[in-house]
């Protein structure tokens, strides 16, 4: 058997639904996000993106289905027992605390020593280009600066999984691009898994995989911006895709991908396959 990376995904949704009365905010969603992915949920207002993030973080409980994080069923765990930090759509900074205290909050909860806390906080403020502003209150910052405080707070304790709800929503195009580059850099250097929610295609194109949501459902999936995107198109239309799916060792060797890349592609191909129905002859 050729080794395929079968380690548990960072996030696994199985038949997740969350309805608010008549509104099917999330409606039977199946989704695997691998450890280390830089992932986007794209979709119009009201399509269920924030609700998905809230379900992952534990602020919302599904009506049905199961959620696993790193192989552990967390369906009944409260937010503070999940290894997830969130950058909220409205920042949710503590207004009475100074910027530095906001950033250090997670470290304080985890009882990190004061000197280490201060070191990490300064490092994070530097990272998001807010050095020198630690003493201000959030009300003394611009919208874009508040957004960056929220990012620094979410990243300060080095979580394996970060959810970011419209992290560029209050930034101009250039600042938004820069923030996304910063997240990508953290994704690449620390292996942090990022799930970014946006309605902006340009932001989505800066990540490696995108699902498009509409009316609580995933309606499309793409590996945009990924070096694997072109490969995927080709494999979809050739016999190779099918052979990869069935675990054909020669095919797997031929594409020469890492176990993780292969697991990702197999997931995408398998889901596209289920949607397309039975295979056509001769492929």
Ligand X SMILES: Nc1ncnc2c1ncn2[C@@H]1O[C@H](COP(=O)(O)OP(=O)(O)OP(=O)(O)O)[C@@H](O)[C@H]1O
Please give the residue ranges that form the binding site for Mg ion (CB under 5 A).
Answer: 50
Stretch of 48-56, 107-115, 129-137, 178-186 lying at the interface with ligand X (CB under 6 A): 48-56
How far apart are the C-alpha atoms of 241 and 123, rounded to whole Å?
A: 45
Can residue 199 be called a binding residue for ligand X (CB under 6 A)?
yes
Q: How many CB atoms are closer than 10 A to CB 119? A: 13
CB of 197 to ligand X, least distance (A): 7
| Measured CA distances, 98 to 86, 168, 170, 276 (Å) | 19, 22, 20, 53
CB of 44 to ligand X, least distance (A): 7
Of 112 and 179, CB closest to ligand X: 179
How far apart are the C-alpha atoms of 206 and 201, rounded to whole Å?
A: 9
Of 45 and 189, CB closest to ligand X: 45
Stretch of 2-10, 40-48, 103-111, 241-249 lying at the interface with ligand X (CB under 6 A): 40-48
Can residue 167 be called a binding residue for ligand X (CB under 6 A)?
no
- Indicate the angle between helix axes 114-127 and 99-109, nearest 10 degrees: 130
Can residue 47 be called a binding residue for ligand X (CB under 6 A)?
yes
Q: How many CB atoms are closer than 10 A to CB 206? A: 21
Can residue 51 be called a binding residue for ligand X (CB under 6 A)?
yes
CB of 13 to ligand X, least distance (A): 14
Residue with tokens 């379900």: 55
Q: What's the DSSP call for residue 9? A: P
| Measured CA distances, 24 to 59, 116, 211, 213 (Å) | 17, 45, 18, 12
Can residue 25 be called a binding residue for ligand X (CB under 6 A)?
yes
Stretch of 44-52, 67-75, 103-111, 136-144 lying at the interface with ligand X (CB under 6 A): 44-52
Three-state DSSP class for residue 29: strand
Query: Which residue is nearest to Mg ion, using beta carbons?
Result: 50
Stretch of 46-54, 62-70, 114-122, 154-162 lying at the interface with ligand X (CB under 6 A): 46-54
Of 54 and 120, CB closest to ligand X: 54
Can residue 46 be called a binding residue for ligand X (CB under 6 A)?
yes
Please pick, from the candidates 5, 14, 17, 23, the single residue that binds ligand X as defined by CB under 6 A: 23
Residue among 200, 127, 129, 123 nearest 164 (CA): 200
Q: How many CB atoms are closer than 10 A to CB 249? A: 10
Residue among 133, 186, 182 nearest 159 (CA): 186
Stretch of 17-25, 90-98, 131-139, 225-233 lying at the interface with ligand X (CB under 6 A): 17-25
CB of 1 to Mg ion, least distance (A): 43
Of 13 and 88, CB closest to Mg ion: 88
CB of 217 to ligand X, least distance (A): 12
Can residue 43 be called a binding residue for ligand X (CB under 6 A)?
yes
The sign of the torsion formed by the CA atoms of 216, 220, 225, 229 equals positive
Can residue 6 be called a binding residue for ligand X (CB under 6 A)?
no
Burial class (CB in 10 A: 0-12, 13-18, 19+), 231: middle
Binding site for ligand X (CB under 6 A): 20, 23, 25, 43, 45-51, 89, 199
């Amino acid at each position: 058997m050729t080794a395929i990376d079968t380690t548990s995904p960072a996030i696994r949704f199985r038949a997740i639904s969350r309805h608010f009365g008549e509104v099917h905010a999330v409606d039977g969603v199946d989704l695997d996000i691998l450890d280390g992915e830089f992932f986007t949920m794209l979709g119009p207002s009201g399509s269920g993106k924030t609700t998905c993030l809230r379900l992952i973080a534990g602020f919302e409980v599904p009506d049905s289905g199961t959620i696993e994080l790193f192989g552990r069923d967390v369906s009944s765990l409260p937010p503070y027992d999940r290894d997830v930090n969130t950058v909220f759509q409205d920042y949710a900074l503590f207004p009475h605390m100074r910027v530095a205290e906001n950033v250090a909050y997670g470290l304080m909860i985890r009882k990190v020593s004061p000197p280490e806390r201060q070191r990490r906080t300064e490092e994070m403020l530097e990272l998001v280009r807010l050095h020198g502003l630690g003493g201000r209150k959030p009300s003394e910052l611009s919208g874009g600066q508040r957004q960056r405080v929220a990012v620094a707070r979410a990243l300060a304790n080095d979580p394996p999984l970060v959810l970011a709800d419209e992290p560029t929503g209050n930034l101009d195009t250039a600042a938004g691009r820069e923030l996304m580059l910063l997240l990508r850099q953290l994704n690449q250097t620390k292996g942090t898994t990022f799930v970014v929610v946006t309605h902006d295609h340009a932001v989505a194109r800066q990540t490696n995989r995108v699902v498009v949501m509409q009316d609580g459902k995933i309606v499309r999936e793409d590996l945009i911006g990924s070096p694997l995107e072109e490969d995927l198109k080709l494999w979809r239309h050739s016999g190779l895709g099918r052979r990869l799916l069935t675990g054909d060792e020669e095919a797997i060797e031929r594409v020469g991908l890492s176990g993780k890349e292969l697991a990702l592609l197999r997931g995408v191909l398998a889901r596209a396959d289920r949607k397309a129905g039975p295979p056509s002859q001769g492929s």
